[in-house]
Structure 1
Amino acid sequence: MDNVWSRSQKAPRQTLTLERIVAEAVALLDDEGVGRLTMRRLAERLDTGSTTLYWHVKTKDDVLDLAMDEVFGEVRLDDLIDLIDLMDLTDPAGAGTGGVHGADGVGGGAHGVGGAGGAGAGAGGAARVTGVTGATGASGAGGVSGAGGDWRAPVRGLMRRWRAALLRHPWSATLLDRPLMGPNALRRTEFLYETLTVAGFAAPKTAAYSLSNYVMGSVIMQVTWERSGDTDTGAFLRERADRYPALAEHGLEHDWDATFEEGLGYLLEGMARSRA
């Protein structure tokens, strides 16, 4: 007998959510790159129609912005926030006097907006650092070392983790010219500004600009270089050593991790000396 009661019931299709859309968009970008991302292609991977997709996002740019912010959500902050409370502000590498209150913000999920603490510290006063509880994602290679109460430890950890997250998703290097205004990106930028403020930088925006552009520039250079394939620049330069003796000696190839670490050390050391 064939009737509605005799036929096996199909499992209901999973409801499409913004979280599913973003997760699939990141997976598509990881697999196929920015050039293959279209609303139709994304809808196919989600096993839905483009019309349904447009209920949640209006344009491809919306999807790219959400995917980029998801990448920033992989940058853990919880243990870095703890380092702020260990900062010795009487040390020359620290910032004069004053203490640091505990984290007072409220973190959200992958797309939530975290609470923002105050960003200023009066003379001899205290500053509050943005709290991010329940931070999601992996830290990758962005561990923290040398955390002895030095403001450089949380900054170094943030820069390492930011770079690692971008390199896990090489397509992100092509989108770094977009305004990074998502809640995850802003929460991490807020953390950087407040850390630098607590450390005593009168112009945290300038210091943060230098650090963030160093990270983005290093990622763009590495991704671009690696996509170009094997190029023996060393042989080319050695053949022209009379014109480019320094380049012939040192070359243009990099141990990318070591070069990044050394360059970041130069930058942080110069910042420490300038504010001391």
Structure 2
Amino acid sequence: MPADQKPTASVWTRTRPGRREHLTREQIVAEAIRLLDAEGVEELSMRKLGTRLGTAATSLYRHVASKDELIELVVDDVYGEPDLPAAVDAARWRAAVTRTATELRAMTLRHPWIAPELGQVGLVHIGPNAMRMSSALLAQFEAAGFGADEMDQAMGTLMAYVIGIATSEAAYLSLIARSGKTEQEWVADLRPAFDEAAREHPRLRAGSSARQDVHPQRIRDDNFAYGLERVLDGLAARLTP
């Protein structure tokens, strides 16, 4: 690196304040997640967070240099929620990857605000939980038989699918939450308008009618599982001699 070029700044590479501080980084992150879960990322500010913690925003800046750094920290903390398989063998790699993907989707739906952040932060995130997640996924693909040159691509393909579908689901569920209705009520209220709009589109009408009595959450779960299986089918085909 040239002498006049500074290293990339990251919350993970800066020295943390001494332990005598009355407020810790962990307390800040935990309260930020509660705020985000309740109000969304648009309402997150250092001033509001300081008020919730009973301190001035300036005290937070001793631990976190900016809102962007705070987002890095909360995303990594949430990445620590999934329960990852401890070990994987070649016979069970698909089950392990399916479990990890399902846990990632559930994590995203528990914290809808995180969905767009995963795409922005995930490419450069070096937090310990994100690294642990990536390492566990790579181990699963290595057990499957992927070479070192293809494990990263297999993992990236899986993550693109999970984050993509979970982002759509999170936005959909947030819209319903703002309506004050349950998902079942919201879908039932929308159905007459959909049926009317689909009168000239028989394929849309047939698909909707076939699942009319299925709970919407079950439909979402089935759709996720179907897509995940097809992604894994495609990846498994790469392993065929």
Into which bin does the TM-score normalised by the smaller protein fall? Answer: 0.7 to 0.9
Please give the alpha-carbon distance, in whole angstroms, between the structure 2 residues aligned to 1:242 and 1:162. Answer: 38
TM-score (norm: length of structure 2) = 0.75
What do you get for the CA RMSD once the two structures are aligned? 2.3
Per the alignment, residue 7 of structure 2 pairs with none
For the pair 1:239 / 2:239, whether they are aligned, the reply is no
Quote the sequence identity (%).
37
The counterpart of 2:47, out of the listed 27, 35, 40, is 40
For the pair shown, the structure with the greater C-alpha radius of gyration is 1
Please give the alpha-carbon distance, in whole angstroms, between the structure 2 residues aligned to 1:247 and 1:219. Answer: 23
> Is contact 1:240-1:248 (8 Å) kept?
no
Per the alignment, residue 196 of structure 1 pairs with 141
Where in structure 2 are there 5+ consecutive unaligned residues?
1-19, 177-185
- For residues 117-132 of structure 1, what are the structure 2 equivalents within 5 Å? none
Per the alignment, residue 168 of structure 1 pairs with 110
Per the alignment, residue 128 of structure 1 pairs with none
Cα distance per residue 1:146-193 (max 9 Å; x no partner)? xxx321111111111111111111111231232221221121112112
Per the alignment, residue 71 of structure 1 pairs with 78
Q: Which moved more, 1:210-219 or 1:244-253?
A: 244-253
Shift of 1:268: 1.5
Aligned-partner SS, 1:170: coil
TM-score (norm: length of structure 1) = 0.66
> Is contact 1:237-1:244 (8 Å) kept?
no
More helix by share: 2
> Is contact 1:170-1:223 (8 Å) kept?
yes
Aligned-partner SS, 2:54: coil
The change in CA–CA distance for 1:234 and 1:246 in structure 2 (over 3 A counts) is farther
Cα distance per residue 1:205-243 (max 9 Å; x no partner)? 221122111111111111122233336665445435464
Please give the alpha-carbon distance, in whole angstroms, between the structure 2 residues aligned to 1:177 and 1:266. Answer: 22
Please give the alpha-carbon distance, in whole angstroms, between the structure 2 residues aligned to 1:32 and 1:39. Answer: 14
Per the alignment, residue 24 of structure 2 pairs with 17
Where in structure 1 are there 5+ consecutive unaligned residues?
1-12, 88-93, 95-148
Per the alignment, residue 212 of structure 1 pairs with 159
Please give the alpha-carbon distance, in whole angstroms, between the structure 1 residues aligned to 2:52 and 2:236. Answer: 49
Per the alignment, residue 91 of structure 1 pairs with none
Shift of 1:244: 2.6
Please give the alpha-carbon distance, in whole angstroms, between the structure 1 residues aligned to 2:133 and 2:168. Answer: 23
Cα distance per residue 1:97-126 (max 9 Å; x no partner)? xxxxxxxxxxxxxxxxxxxxxxxxxxxxxx
